[in-house]
Structure 1
Amino acid sequence: MKVKLGSIITLLLLSLAAKAEKPDYSQQIQIDADNLVSVEENILTYKNNVVVTQGSIQLKADQLEINATAGKGNEVYIASGKPVTYSQLMADGKPVTAQANEMRYEPSSRTLTLTGDAELSKSDSVVKASVIKYNLEKQDISAESDESKRVTTIIMPEEKSNP
């Protein structure tokens, strides 16, 4: 039986593309840290050099508390630091980055809430506010200000290539 090399390469590329399309939020969450400080009933606290990875999502913080008191599948991740950073590679290959003093991630609703000097960069725009809510699945962004800081959005112009 003779198999063409082109057919094998095409099948391999299609299988890799199918794997790459698996949403980040449907993949496992891995947590690395220097210390697991406390283990209370359904609450874990990680400290120092905390890195949370889920697919292409990466969150870095000084401290992470995981509250699982609402039961499996309803955990809440609260990361704090100066700042906490977040990055994700979107399906179109463009990155989303964020930073804030605190980030709250709720996998069940796929929501990331940034609080305190919050900044989120997506495509060619940057949003800065006191509080930013970002839905990872829908890619919706909402921002709120307080008395000391207004919501600011910066939209970069599209660069045109010269012929």
Structure 2
Amino acid sequence: MINKTLWALLFSLCAFTAQAQNKDFVEPVSVNSDNFDGSVKEKKLIYIGNVVVKQGSLLIKADRLEVDSSAGQGKEVFIAFGSPAVYSQLLDGDKPIQAMANEIKYDVASRVLTLTGKAEINQSGSLVKSEKIQYDLEKQKLNAESGKDTERVTTIFTPEKK
């Protein structure tokens, strides 16, 4: 019974397939790590050490990954930690996106990435650096905030090559 419940939790990682328009989200999720700890009762999973998450072109590399599925299927929250944690994916239209931060939080229900701590996001040759960046994957909207008075949001635009 416990094995079946753990598998159900692992398959809940795929719950956002119905909302996604990207073909990646119909692919199975593969999580590899050095160690795994999970609570069936609390619906929380923790992966530690050389964590690699793959789903189609989606790739997350981290030192630690926490998955909270207590809110129900399709409402999972993934939090990757690293120095830095790294996220990459090909979005619709083959637009590659790369992001890195000390913490990368992905809220499945809202499809929002929140990057915290030395956050960087790079898409289509443009780069944004900040202490905190929120990126709505569906609407492709970005919000960046500085952390301290001396830190600023930096954006670098790369001109289109002809």
In our comparison, the structure showing a higher alpha carbon Rg is 1
Residue aligning to 1:32: 32
For structure 1, which runs of at least 5 residues remain unmatched after alignment?
1-20
Q: Distance in 2 between matches of 1:26 and 1:109?
A: 17
Q: Distance in 2 between matches of 1:149 and 1:32?
A: 35
Residue aligning to 1:4: none
Q: CA deviation at 1:140?
A: 1.5
Residue aligning to 2:152: 150
Residue aligning to 1:52: 53
Matched, 1:65 2:66: yes
Report the more deviating stretch, 133-142 or 108-117: 133-142
Alignment of 1:90-129 (within 5 A): 90-129=91-130
Q: Distance in 2 between matches of 1:38 and 1:94?
A: 34
Aligned length: 140
Coordinate RMSD, CA, aligned: 1.7
Q: Secondary structure at the match of 1:108?
A: coil
Tell me the alpha carbon deviations over residues 72-97 of structure 1, each in whole angstroms, 9 at most, x when there is no partner.
22111111010000111133333110
Q: Is the 8 A contact 1:31 1:52 kept in 2?
A: yes
Question: Would the alpha carbon gap of residues 143 and 26 (structure 1) be closer, same or farther in structure 2, given more than 3 Å must change?
Answer: farther
Q: Is the 8 A contact 1:96 1:120 kept in 2?
A: yes
Question: Would the alpha carbon gap of residues 96 and 126 (structure 1) be closer, same or farther in structure 2, given more than 3 Å must change?
Answer: same
Residue aligning to 1:78: 79
Q: CA deviation at 1:125?
A: 0.5
Q: Distance in 2 between matches of 1:47 and 1:69?
A: 20
Question: Would the alpha carbon gap of residues 30 and 155 (structure 1) be closer, same or farther in structure 2, given more than 3 Å must change?
Answer: same
Amino acid at match of 1:146: G
| TM-score when normalising by structure 2 | 0.79
Instruction: Detail structure 1 runs of 4+ shifted over 6 Å in the superposition.
Output: none
Tell me the alpha carbon deviations over residues 87-128 of structure 1, each in whole angstroms, 9 at most, x when there is no partner.
111333331101000000111111111000000000020000
